[in-house]
Chain A
Amino acid sequence: MAIGLDAVRYSAANARVKGLASQLLSDETWQALTSAEDLGIALSILRGTVYADVAADVEAGGAITLEDLERRLDARAAQNVRRTMTFVSGAQRDLLQVWWQHFELENLKALFRGFDQGMSPDAIRRFLIPMGQTSRLPWEVLLHIQSVPGLVDRLSGTHYGQPLRNALPAYNRERSLFAIEIALDIRYYRDLAAAINALGGADFDDARRIIGTRLDILNILWAYRHRVYYNLSAEEIVNYTLWHTFRTDTNLIRDIALGAPPEDILERVWGRGSVDLSLLERATDEASMVTNLELTLERFWWGLARSAMGGYPFRLGALLGYLVLQETEIADLVTLLEAKAMRWDRERVCRHLVRCEE
């Protein structure tokens, strides 16, 4: 009965998602792109895809930089999330709305970084993802505030206000945006977890498996990054990660903080053999371990999304799977074009791409 109801609820959404998913790059195109000798050839391949307009702009006399390109592709991803929001309603729509806000979050961080470095509004604008009329924040007005405390003050009426107020004293003391960015992230991902928990039945299971896994992955990655890159103490690592996600908790984070190897952690979280650990085995030091762990987990997540797309179609999972695939594709595409601009060969590029058979 429930399956029948889901089929009715998601039949229209599924048809539209299938339409959008058909625009994702095929395996053949992706193979050709990774094997392209240089940027010119990669762009000529892209001309035959849904990214033709972007390719044409890059080719048009270098008027568009790779940063601009990244921004435009992110805008496209944000627009696609908005589009899929119209396919569903209620708590499902709320979840997508919160998911969409990660683009807003990226923009806020760009504003803080720009103000912290004393950049002009025009210079910062280049780093903002165009949000159009969909964002409730007045970006053009925010751009002209030009100070970190001023921006915190201006955002006091929004749901970012409280975490920013908490982190501002640390910024004022140390002149580092670390606390502010962490506070924003923790707030955002808590909201995301709450949006997942507001779902019921099969929708909850799907959201937990795809978006919930993203929270687990981020929590693990943050803990390792804090330990390896920032050399934080165990107490700081616990405080600067999420209190608990769907599969991680304080005990797990404490163990990471105290030096647990990633293989053990991944096995504890997802079970033996669930995650391909081959990349981790190649790590030569702690820093390369973190890099490889990131790619390992991104690939694991991508695989989950792909299987959700290929499973029973009339579920929220298919829609979420599509969103993950398209955002991963865009992130990979930016990496690939940057790499091809430096004439990297396939093998070298593949080491940095989520979607690539090495």
Chain B
Amino acid sequence: MFVPVEMSEVDIFVFENDVEEVAQAVAGLGVMHLLDVGSLGKWAEGVSTEWTGRVSAYVTQERRVRELLEQLDIPEEQLSCEGRLNPAEDYAALEEEIQEVEAEVRDLRRSEVEVQREIEHWELLARSMEILEPLSVSISDLRQLEHLHLVAGSIPAENLARLEASLFRIPYNIIPVFRYRGRVVVFAFCAEEHAAILDRALESAFLDPLSLPQEFGGTAQEVLAQVTERARSAHEEADALQRQRQELVDRLRPRLMPILMRIRGDRAIADAMSHFGHRGRVYLIAGWVPKDRVEELRQLIEETTEGRVTFEENPVTRPDDRAKVPTLLRNSSLFRPIESLVTTYGTPGYREIDPTAILGITFVVMFGSMFGDMGHGLVLALIGVVLAYHVVPGLATMSALGHILIACGISSAVFGLLYGSVFGLEDIIPALWLRPMNDILTLLLASVGFGVVVLNIGFAARLATAARSGRFREAVFDKNGIVGLLLYWSLLGVVAFVALGGGVPGWLIAVILLLAVALFLAEPLTNLLMRRSPVIHGSVPELAVQAFFELFEALISYASNTLSYVRLGAFAVAHVGLTMVVFLLADMLGGGLAAILVIIVGNIAIIGFEGLIVGIQTLRLEYYELFGKFFKGEGIPFKPLTLPAMEC
């Protein structure tokens, strides 16, 4: 629980004929974090770009299929795919299928666009006829004007002024009739002899003519009836296309999803293949595997290759193994949601302590102590339940936050019991420990006491990390190492003696001086201990100045780190103060509905804003005061080769 999962480096040597099967088996088990090609030494020379090319080909196919799904409004879903993956040969068959589907969708889309255009055309005509309706002129007469050339159509609205500017050689008249989706419907006239000039000008202004079929005749009113009829039949066609689309969706859904799944599987395998080294006909698959899963992997590979394999397991021996060992955290389900708070800071190094459990316990306790209120806590826990158990489907991704809120809410409720506070009301239940407002000093001292405990955990974790990475001797004279810890305890001893009213014993002062000197001389002493030379880098005065400031900074940080925890108590007091303000405001309104409203809104604000601030403060205490002691977070996360969520 307190350390990352132990890893082994596994090298699998297989023949060319078996490599794809093995890759699939490895990906299916999902326990191997592949080594970077650059770490394969001479084996990397055989890595070809052929597989990288296949990866990009599959990526393109995936994009195309997703585009098809989007066009058809088909949501993605996880499915199992049938048959074994064959990334070297699947591409062609998949391409054929995709092209077939693309052609079908393209045809449908083309028809939809055409019908939409037709609807727009008839609607524009109808509106134009409505304008001509009062004239009672026969449309056929307008068509057969002897001396006048008339054109009706729509142009982009932005082109109208330029069109008029372009017609500088002929007399003309352009009547804008109405605007419609960024276009303007115009009636343009000129003398018949200038018809060619007007037509070419209109065309170059991107005119879309409102042409009337020859069979349309009669007055504008009669034509309007005919046009309306055409518009209605175009709408019917659009409805038919909508049904056709639904049929296509129903037919293609079961076809497209398996295609997508297969593409993703093939891409994953091709990606893996691009990481394998090879020399001649032998491939090397190298990576990190959790030690307790190596045997399972070995058996699977031997079965897959029928024994044609060399399987080597190399334990991690040195911190500088040929590649950085990835970190796999394995915490109990109770602490797993907290992992996200740890990885937000950084992934623990393979040889670092996994701080998840420490953070899990201290975070929840500190949050509760700062936000101690039974009512508010239970509300928070309830919100947590909603998020954690997917009560609202749209918030499914916030499950981890939900679990954290449940824990923090329960902790707040427990502290609410200890403080005797329910929704800010201090007189409903008795305080099992103390009331923050009435006993501030005790609360602040208890907070600092808690901080001392947390910081000691930090010191212990620092020493454990040093021991795990084989650098224990380097930690002896560190400000957060053994000497630092002893100095911290000694200083606490001084505080305790003074607080109890007694004098500070001389031996304690001597110990403090001795430890301070040791910390002052940390660098040369560490070099001596590590048998490094030279013992002193640079000149002695330089070292003295640097050592002085480091010692000073260490002493300051012990004090500031410890006193930082005063905020646990301070926020508990602030919480009571805030709720008092809410009730004061309600009292000023003299009761009634308004007062109830103020109490409700006030409590919501406290839960929302104060809850957020307390959460941030708690995280600050964890990251700066605790993690700063021992945690670097420079590890790389364990990312095993896996197939997408499906079974192939």
Contacts and interface: CB of A to CB of B under 8 A. Distances in A.
Contact of A150 (B106, B163, B169, B204): B106
24 contacts: A140-B64, A141-B60, A141-B64, A144-B99, A145-B106, A147-B110, A150-B106, A150-B109, A166-B159, A169-B206, A169-B208, A170-B206, A233-B197, A234-B169, A235-B167, A235-B168, A235-B169, A235-B201, A236-B201, A236-B204, A238-B165, A238-B166, A239-B166, A239-B205
Interface in A254-287: 254
A179 B110 contact: no
A153 interface: yes
Contacts of A144: 64, 99, 102
B113 A167 contact: no
B106 A147 contact: yes
Interface of B: 60, 63-64, 67, 99, 102, 106, 109-110, 113, 156, 159, 161-163, 165-169, 182-183, 197, 200-201, 203-206, 208
Interface of A: 138, 140-141, 144-147, 149-150, 153, 162-163, 166-167, 169-170, 179, 183, 232-236, 238-240, 243, 250, 254
Contact of B200 (A167, A183, A236): A236
B67 A141 contact: yes
Contacts of A153: 109, 113
Nearest to A182: B204
B166 A162 contact: no
B201 A140 contact: no
Given A179-B206, A235-B169, A149 B162 contact: no
In terms of DSSP, what is the predominant structure of the interface of chain A?
helix
Given A138-B67, A153-B109, A170-B203, A243 B162 contact: yes
B165 A150 contact: no
Contacts of B163: 239
B64 to A, nearest CB: 6
Given A144-B102, A147-B106, A240-B204, A235 B166 contact: yes
Instruction: Pick the 8 closest A-B CB pairs, nearest first.
Output: A235-B201, A238-B166, A239-B204, A236-B204, A140-B60, A235-B166, A166-B206, A250-B165
A73 to B, nearest CB: 23
B64 A235 contact: no
Contacts of B109: 150, 153
Contacts of A238: 162, 165-166
A235 B204 contact: yes
Contact of B206 (A141, A147, A150, A183): A183
B388 to A, nearest CB: 37
Nearest to A144: B64
B106 A235 contact: no
Nearest to B112: A153
A138, A140, A232 pick with most chain B CB within 10 angstroms: A140
Contact of A239 (B60, B102, B201): B201
A254 B159 CA distance: 16
A167 B165 contact: no
A254 B168 contact: yes
A168 to B, nearest CB: 9
Given A138-B63, A150-B109, A233 B201 contact: yes
Contacts of B204: 232, 235-236, 239-240
Contacts of A239: 159, 162-163, 166, 201, 204-205
A254 B201 CA distance: 13
Contacts of B161: 243
A233 B197 CA distance: 8
Given A138-B67, A141-B64, A235-B204, 4 more contacts: A140-B64, A149-B113, A170-B203, A239-B159
Contacts of A145: 106
A153 B102 CA distance: 14
A147 B108 CA distance: 13
B60, B165, B166, B203 pick with most chain A CB within 10 angstroms: B166
